[in-house]
Chain A
Amino acid sequence: MKPLLTLDRLAKRFAGHAAVDDVSLTVREGEVLCLLGPSGCGKSTLLRLIAGFETPDAGTVRLGDADITGLPPHRRPVNMMVQSYALFPHLSVAGNLAYGLKGLGLSRAGVAGRVATLLRLVKLDGFEARRPATLSGGQRQRVALARALAREPRLLLLDEPLGALDRALREETQGELRAIQRRLGTGFVVVTHDPAEAMALSDRVGVMDRGRLVQVGPAAELYERPASRFVAGLLGEANLIEGRLGADGRVETAFGSIRPGTVRAGPGPVVIMVRPERLRLGPARGTEGEGALTGTVVEATYLGERIRRLVRMADGTVLRVSTPLPEGRDGGGPGETVGLAFPSEAACVLPA
């Protein structure tokens, strides 16, 4: 697939602090890439560098074959939607949508037709004359999306596009956003701090930490085979077990010797990352085999679709075990001794 956006060794410093640090990234034609990271990790700055609101200290931004690093925002065939939506309060919905259509050489009827198409796209027919102040949060979000799509950009940048919506609406809107993206085939770069949103929206996720892009890949790869403890913790609950990786590829831990599925560290002290839902509860066996551990249930919490247990191991480590219902109901009340096992491919070895 052709690259749509290519960032090459992009860097931006603010008052001596590296907001974006040596980031190289490719977004393919028609792809949704989510930038995920805690606040202050540089993901919004990276987006603003692509949109042209910030000038990089080093590196280039290429769209297709064209170098757009030096172009001002209004000359870039890229549009952006921000969390606050930044709708023009003095213009109607139609006025907001038509704003970007000036100067494209469209006739008056052409503009009206495009506005009508956009309103249908986001299911806001009949709202032409309304002012942004009279709309609900969800409606404003859709006006902002339609406005950002009005100029038919090759690449759409979305900064926390669903961040201002409540949770129920957010999940519904994720689906709509994805459907619109598939229909138009526009490349999306979405900034979010919500791992669930990143996984739901994206073809690939890029994780940022203190200005650096630390891992890029499909959500499943980042979740199951993260490159570091940071990525592991960012994408969801992770159990970390200390151990030592030997030359034979086995990891010696306090619970025994484990042959891990993925190794992302060199020999020496490491941690093994296992997701809570990969740990299986069973009767305590006493004998320690590969991936078979023994511990005491400290707490069991009913969460509707699953039960989460905290299990204290002999060395004091507390592991989280998540078991789907109904099988999670059996055994393992607080105080009970249980055996834990996980398939070796579920274990990912990370640098300590």
Chain B
Amino acid sequence: MRSDPTPAGRLGRALVRGLPALWLVLFFLVPFAVVLKISLSTPATAQPPYRPLLDWGAGWEGWRAFVEALDLQNYAMLAGDALYRDAALTSLAYAGAATAILALVGTPMAWAMARATPRMQGLLVALVIVPFWTSFLIRVYAWIAILKPEGLLNMALLRLGLIGEPLAILDTPAGVLIGLTYAYLPFLVLPLYAVMARLDPALPEAAADLGASRARAFLTVTLPLSLPGLTAGMLLCFIPMVGEFIIPDLLGGSDTLMLGRVLWSEFFSNRDWPLASAVAVLMLVLIVGPVVLFRGVRERQDAAAR
């Protein structure tokens, strides 16, 4: 089936390959080029609030003047001001810590789902997906009600006598981590569950037969064979968490400095579109880095498997 001689088949294949590419060009590459261009401009009190603007009527001369006026001053500012460096590091730290927590919480969850009876599995998958029926914003607001000093959690703990006074969770890093873990759990669990459910149950059985305890069988057979699902899930969580805005904004208080919030305030409060664009480009670089790294690891694993 490698070569399909009919023209219709060739057209179909071109569509299958071409449509995703077209989609990427239209909705990712072109917008990114626009953002990249703005990040190289200077802010101005105008509409739009930056220059230079490309003068299409001036032809080649206009194009040259435009390119010459572009500079890296916004990136220099990002590098020079500790605020942006700190925001970037904080974002990476939050995303990294939350990804680690997600892996620890989500792996047993996915494994339990994969081991359940087929009927139970359908129910559990539905339960993981159900929260998506509600608006993300409302779910994060609900966490405010749970975590605030006079909220559900503190009241319950006080009633049980486990604590003497309300815990400060809202507006702290703990609040951000709880919010991130809650919001992104399905993105870790579902790909991991998909891989674990397809694992041959004879493999952990063979491990048990060869003297491995349940824990050893899981750590030496099930987990290594589930790594593709785990890395996919961790990437799916880590990438958007680096740029997450709503959760740190609502649960982290005004002191939480993350790239998403910096970007938002540069764009909407300071109306400094060029600097905001530079932050966006920086964020993309920060995110693409680990993806490339993970892919490299996977390729080496695959190569070793051959």
Spell out A's residues near B (CB within 8 Å). 51, 53, 72-74, 79-80, 82, 84, 86-90, 99-100, 102-104, 131, 133-134, 147-148, 150-151
* CA distance in complex: A96, B203 (Å): 11
Quick one: closest B residue to A79, CB to CB? B209
Q: Say which size band chain B's interface belongs to.
A: 20 to 34
**Complex contact B209–A88 (CB within 8 A):** no
B211 within 8 A of A: yes
- The answer to whether A86 touches B211, judged by C-beta atoms less than 8 angstroms apart, is no
Contact B305 A90 (CB under 8 A): yes
Residues B211 and A103 in contact, CB atoms below 8 Å apart: yes
Do A131 and B212 have beta carbons less than 8 Å apart?
Answer: no
A74-B211 CB under 8 A given contacts A89-B225, A90-B224, A131-B305: yes
B190-233 residues at the A interface, CB under 8 angstroms = 200, 202-203, 205-213, 216-217, 220-221, 224-225
Say whether B224 contacts A74, CB under 8 Å. Answer: no
**Are B305 and A84 closer than 8 Å at their CB atoms?**
no
Contact A86 B212 (CB under 8 A): no
Which of B200, B210, B212, B213 gathers the greatest number of chain A CB atoms within 10 Å?
Answer: B210
In the bound complex, CA of A79 to CA of B211 (Å) = 9
Of the candidates B200, B207, B225, the one whose C-beta lies within 8 Å of that of A99 is B207
Q: Which of B211, B217, B221 has the most CB of A within 10 A?
A: B211
Q: A286 CB to closest chain B CB, in angstroms?
A: 63
- Give Cα A51 to B207, complex, Å: 12
Name the A residues within 8 Å of B203 (CB-CB): 86, 88
One of A72, A82, A102 near B206 (C-beta < 8 A): A82
Is B305 touching A89 in the complex (CB atoms < 8 A)? yes
Contacts A86-B205, A88-B207 aside, 10 further interface pairs with beta carbons under 8 A come to A51-B209, A72-B208, A79-B209, A80-B206, A84-B202, A89-B225, A99-B210, A99-B212, A99-B220, A131-B305
Say what secondary structure dominates the interface of chain B.
helix
* Distance of B242 from chain A, by nearest CB (Å): 30
- The answer, yes or no, to whether B300 is at the interface (CB within 8 Å) is no
Q: Is B17 an interface residue (CB 8 A)?
A: no
Query: Which residues of B (152-206) have their CB < 8 Å from a CB of A?
Result: 200, 202-203, 205-206
Known: A90-B224, A90-B305. A74 touches B213 (CB 8 A): yes
Summarize A's interface: helix, strand, loop or mixed: loop
Let me know if B205 and A73 touch, CB within 8 A.
yes
A residues less than 8 Å from B206 (CB atoms) = 80, 82, 86-88
Give min CB distance, B117 to chain A, whole Å: 12
A37 to chain B minimum Cβ distance, whole angstroms, is 21
Indicate which residue in B205, B212, B225, B306 contacts A134 across the interface (CB closer than 8 Å).
B306
Residues on the B chain within 8 Å of A90, using CB: 224-225, 305
CB distance from B9 to the nearest CB of A (A): 31
Residues of A within 8 A of B211 (CB): 74, 100, 102-104, 151
List 6 tightest A-B contacts by C-beta distance, closest first.
A100-B210, A86-B202, A86-B206, A73-B208, A74-B208, A90-B224
Pairwise interchain contact B221-A88, C-beta atoms closer than 8 A? yes
Which B residues are CB-close (under 8 A) to A53?
Answer: 205, 208-209
Known: A82-B202, A89-B305, A134-B306. Is A73-B225 also a contact (CB below 8 A)?
A: no
